Amino acid sequence: MDKIKYELNDVVEMKKEHPCSTRSKTWQIIRMGADIKIKCMGCGSVVMLTRYSFEKNLKKVIGKEKE
């Protein structure tokens, strides 16, 4: 199985939706390292995950966030 390629500022879709009022599955990658920090595109909450946990729950890369 091929690994999905992702970079800083990519908008990604996760397998599970965020339990905020918008029920969004889209997140923006805002920090990368041993841990990955992502921001919910619906409510703006920030979550930090281990790289393993992030890659396990990643569904697909949607594209770049426009700045």
| In a domain? residue 48 | yes
Q: Is the pLDDT of residue 51 over 90?
A: yes
Number of structural domains (the chain) is 1
Q: Residue 1: which pLDDT band, with cuts at 50, 70 and 90? A: low
14 found inside a domain: yes
In-domain check, residue 2: no
**Contact present, 41 and 27 (Cβ < 8 Å):** yes
> Would residue 25 count as lying in a domain?
yes
Residue 1 within a domain: no
Among 34, 37, 15, residue whose Cα is nearest residue 24: 15
pLDDT in tens, 6-46: 999 999 999 988 888 888 899 999 999 999 999 999 899 99
In a domain, 26, yes or no: yes
Is residue 2 scored above 60 in pLDDT?
A: yes
Residue 24 sits in which domain range?
10-62
